[in-house]
Amino acid sequence: MKYLVLAFFTICSTIELSAQKPDPEALLREGKKLYRLEKAAWYATDHFLMNFQDKRDSVGGYLSYQGVDGLIYSIFFNRDLNKILVRYQFGKDPAPIPEMVNTEMGLPIGDEGDLIVIRQKAVDMLTSNKDSFFTFYENTSFNPIPLIEGDQRKVYVLTASKKQGSIFIGNDYLLEYNANNELKSKRKLHNSLIEIPFQTSDEQEALGTMHTHILSNHMEPTDICTLLLYKDYVNWSQHYTIHKDYISILDLKKENLVIIAKKAFDKIQNSKRLSQPGNH
């Protein structure tokens, strides 16, 4: 198997994080949630632009969230951040055609108001970038994804590709807020950005791509989200995150994440090589 090897470095808040055994189920669950929210946002944006040209100038932003019923909702809100212009309802796994479209302007419901607030605060941070915390790259744009789960309030900031035929991984951030929607922490999930082509040079051998982590010992939820969003556009089916202690393997087709100790992974690879004809 030939891999597209890409050097990549991750920053985490503490050294101790590296020593913790990663939880693949929790990481996959968070990554797939981000993936479903982004997929719904894509579909809702396409529908909005095609059907509501008269509302475009009134839009202050949009976001997606998972309701208490497990369904995914996408909302477009006004510039004053206090009215919902259009609300979309999707299934638990969003399809291109929404299940419901509500065009009656109304007030935010449930967590929508707080989601709008923390998203807008993230946008304001990105715009001002007073402490140069965020890094800007050509052919990319930032995409803030707010989440509220119990007493946790956070915004993932992903770097989205504006370049045809390429996927970008990295340059992503996690902003956490308290119950009053005040920023309480911020950290970079990766400290650089890599570009991976949709189509590798040798399709026969393009079975997987890879990047390496230094301090983070696992694939990030943002990695999972981005990789799954583009799984239908690439000619490779697996992505590996390599750390000195653990190997994360994401199967794009099965949407499955496996994390194994690097020593065990190396042992398996060595056994495969020894079992090949001509090796003794």
What is the C-alpha to C-alpha distance for residues 41 and 59, in angstroms, rounded to an integer?
14
Identify the pLDDT of residue 214.
57
Instruction: Give residue-wise pLDDT tens across range 12-68.
Output: 333 334 457 889 999 999 999 999 999 999 999 999 999 999 999 999 999 999 999
Domain residue spans of the chain = 2-275
- Residue numbers of the chain with a pLDDT score lower than 70: 1-19, 201-207, 210-216, 271-280
Sheet of 100-102: strand order equals 59-66, 72-78, 84-90, 100-102
Identify the pLDDT of residue 274.
55
What is the C-alpha to C-alpha distance for residues 72 and 253, in angstroms, rounded to an integer?
22
pTM value > 0.85: yes
Q: Are 27 and 219 in contact (CB under 8 A)?
A: yes
Identify the pLDDT of residue 22.
87
Identify the pLDDT of residue 263.
84
What is the C-alpha to C-alpha distance for residues 137 and 161, in angstroms, rounded to an integer?
10
Residue 210, Cβ density class (10 Å: 0-12 exposed, 13-18 middle, ≥19 buried): buried
Q: Both tokens of residue 67?
A: 């309701």
Task: Please name the amino acid found at residue 62.
Answer: Y
Strand 238-242, strand 246-251: pairing:
antiparallel
Identify the pLDDT of residue 262.
79
As beta bridge partners, residue 184 has none
Identify the pLDDT of residue 14.
34
Radius of gyration of the chain (CA): 20
3-state secondary structure of 198: coil
Count of positions (residues) in the chain: 280
Work out the number of other CB atoms within 10 angstroms of the CB of residue 33. Answer: 19
Which one, of 234, 233, 238, lies nearest residue 252 by Cα? 238
Rounded to 5°, angle at Cα 223 from 220 and 225: 110
